[in-house]
C-alpha cells in the first residue's frame, strides 16, 4: 500500500473512530445518569432562528451558543428523546459495520422500533438533531440522501471505493458525486477553474461543446438545489486544489438562492456550513443585467418571485453592492430568464460568446 493510500485509509479510520466514539459517548452519558439515579437528559444545540447567526468573518451562517435539553422527566420530550436514542443506536451499528442506509430506509426500519416516526419529515429532523448534538455529519453517521448526486465532467482523477476514475472517461454524463464524497480521494486535477451550472440541460450543452477544454475547467451539473455532497465537493475542490468556483444559474430569485447556498450556506444547515459553504465562489449569471444586455427571452415575474426577491434583499448574504444592484434591477424590469434562453442566438452561443465574456469580466475584477 502506497503512502497516499495509507493516508486516505488513516483519514477514513479517524473519522469512523471519532463518530463511533461520539455515538457511544451519548449512550454512556444516559447510562451514567441512570446509575446516579438522575433523570436522563441530552443537551441539544438550538436550531431555532434565534440561534442562527450570519458570521461576517466566516461569510456563512453558524449556530449560536443556545442549548436545550431533552429529558425523560418531561412527558412531552420522552418520545423525541427515545427516537434520538434509537437513531443513534441504528447509526452506531452502521458505523461499526461500515454500512450506509438512506434516510428513507431508516424511516421504514423505525417501524420495528415501537417508537416509529409519523412522517419522513419527523425522521429527518431527529437525524439532524443527532447530527448537531454530536458535532458530526449525517454522512459520517452512515445516513445517505435518496437523490442521485450531481455530475462532474473534466480532467480530474479520483479514487472512489479503491477504483481510480477520470471524469472524462465516464461517458457524457461524467462522474456522479458520491454521497460519501469525503471518502473519495481527489487526485490529479489538470484544470484551472470549476464551472457549476444549475440545470442538466446546460451541463450537457457544455459537455457537447467541449467547454471543459475550451475553458480548461471542470463542469458541474447541480441538478437544481445542490445536494450536500455536491456542496462538499465544491468546497473541497476549492480548498484542496485551489480552484476558483464559478456558478451560473437561471436569472430568477430561486437561481440566486441556489448559488448563495453554495457560497454562504443555508440557515437550516448552520451546524455544518463550515464543511459545505464555499465563500470565495463567484456567481457569474444569469443576472438582471444579462437579461438587458443580451436582450434575452423572458418571463414576467410572478407575485411569489417579487416577494422572494424582496426577502433576499434583506438577507445578510445578499448585502454586497453586486447583489443589491441585481435584485433591484430585476424588480425594476419585472422579468426573469432561464439559462437556456441564450439559445435564441444558437446552441453554441453560450460557449462561444457568453462564458468567454463572463470569465474575462471575472479576470478583470481580480
116 and 156 share one domain: no
In the residue annotation, 108 being an active-site residue is answered as: yes
Residues 234, 318, single domain; the answer is yes
Q: How far apart are the first and last CA of the chain?
A: 42
**What 8-state DSSP symbol labels residue 86?**
H
Name the pTM for this structure.
Answer: 0.88
Are residues 202 and 221 in contact, defined by beta-carbon separation less than 8 angstroms?
yes
75: domain range? 7-144
The verdict on 104 and 168 lying in the same domain is no
- Give the model confidence (pLDDT) of 286-320 as tens digits: 999 999 999 999 999 999 999 999 999 999 999 99
Boundary of a domain, candidates 122, 144, 166: 144
Beta bridge partners of 189: 156
User: What are the two backbone dihedrals, phi and then psi, of residue 209, each rounded to the nearest 5 degrees?
Assistant: -90, 10
Say yes or no: 316 and 173 in one domain.
yes
pLDDT the model gives residue 348: 93
Distance of alpha carbon 273 from alpha carbon 182, whole angstroms? 15
Residue 8 is predicted with a pLDDT of 54
Give residue-wise pLDDT tens across range 218-272.
999 999 999 999 999 999 999 999 999 999 999 999 999 999 999 999 999 999 9
Where the chain has pLDDT below 70, the residues are 1-11, 147-148, 366
* Active-site position among 108, 294, 345, 349: 108
Q: pLDDT value at position 14?
A: 86
Q: Are residues 121 and 206 in the same domain?
A: no
* Domain finish residue from 117, 144, 171: 144
Decide if 83 is inside a domain. yes
254 and 300 both lie in a single domain: yes
Judged on CB neighbours under 10 Å (0-12, 13-18, 19+), 278 is: buried
* Residue 97 pLDDT: 92
Amino acid at each position: 500500500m502506497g503512502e497516499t493510500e495509507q493516508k486516505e485509509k488513516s483519514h477514513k479510520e479517524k473519522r469512523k473512530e471519532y463518530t463511533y466514539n461520539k455515538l457511544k459517548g451519548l449512550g454512556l452519558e444516559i447510562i451514567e445518569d441512570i446509575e446516579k439515579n438522575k433523570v436522563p437528559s441530552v443537551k441539544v444545540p438550538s436550531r431555532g432562528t434565534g440561534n442562527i447567526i450570519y458570521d461576517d468573518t466566516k461569510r456563512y451562517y453558524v449556530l449560536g451558543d443556545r442549548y436545550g435539553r431533552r429529558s425523560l422527566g418531561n412527558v412531552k420530550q420522552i418520545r423525541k428523546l427515545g427516537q434520538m436514542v434509537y437513531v443513534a443506536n441504528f447509526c452506531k451499528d452502521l458505523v461499526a459495520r461500515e454500512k450506509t442506509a438512506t434516510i428513507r430506509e431508516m424511516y421504514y426500519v423505525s417501524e420495528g422500533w415501537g417508537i416509529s416516526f409519523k412522517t419522513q419529515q419527523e425522521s429527518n429532523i431527529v437525524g439532524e438533531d443527532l447530527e448537531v448534538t454530536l458535532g458530526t455529519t449525517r454522512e459520517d453517521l452512515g445516513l445517505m440522501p435518496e437523490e442521485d448526486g450531481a455530475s462532474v465532467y473534466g480532467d480530474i482523477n479520483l479514487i472512489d471505493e479503491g477504483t481510480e476514475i477520470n471524469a472524462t472517461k465516464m461517458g457524457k454524463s461524467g462522474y456522479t458525486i458520491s454521497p460519501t464524497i469525503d471518502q473519495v480521494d481527489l487526485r490529479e486535477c489538470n484544470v484551472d477553474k470549476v464551472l457549476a451550472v444549475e440545470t442538466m440541460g446546460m451541463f450537457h450543452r457544455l459537455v457537447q461543446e467541449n467547454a471543459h477544454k475550451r475553458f480548461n475547467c471542470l463542469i458541474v451539473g447541480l441538478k437544481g438545489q445542490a445536494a450536500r455532497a455536491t456542496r462538499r465537493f465544491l468546497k473541497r475542490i476549492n480548498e484542496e486544489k485551489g480552484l476558483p468556483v464559478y456558478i451560473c444559474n437561471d436569472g430568477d430569485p430561486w437561481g440566486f438562492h441556489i448559488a448563495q447556498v453554495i457560497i454562504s450556506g443555508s440557515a437550516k444547515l448552520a451546524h455544518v456550513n463550515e464543511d459545505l459553504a464555499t465563500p470565495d465562489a463567484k456567481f457569474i449569471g444569469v443576472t438582471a443585467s444579462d437579461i438587458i444586455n443580451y436582450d434575452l427571452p423572458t418571463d414576467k415575474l410572478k407575485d411569489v418571485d417579487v416577494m422572494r426577491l424582496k426577502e433576499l434583499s434583506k438577507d445578510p448574504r445578499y448585502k454586497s453592492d453586486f447583489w443589491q444592484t441585481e435584485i433591484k434591477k430585476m424588480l425594476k424590469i419585472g422579468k426573469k430568464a432561464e439559462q437556456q434562453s441564450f439559445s435564441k442566438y444558437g446552441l453554441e452561443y453560450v460557449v462561444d460568446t457568453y462564458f468567454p465574456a463572463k470569465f474575462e469580466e471575472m479576470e478583470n475584477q481580480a
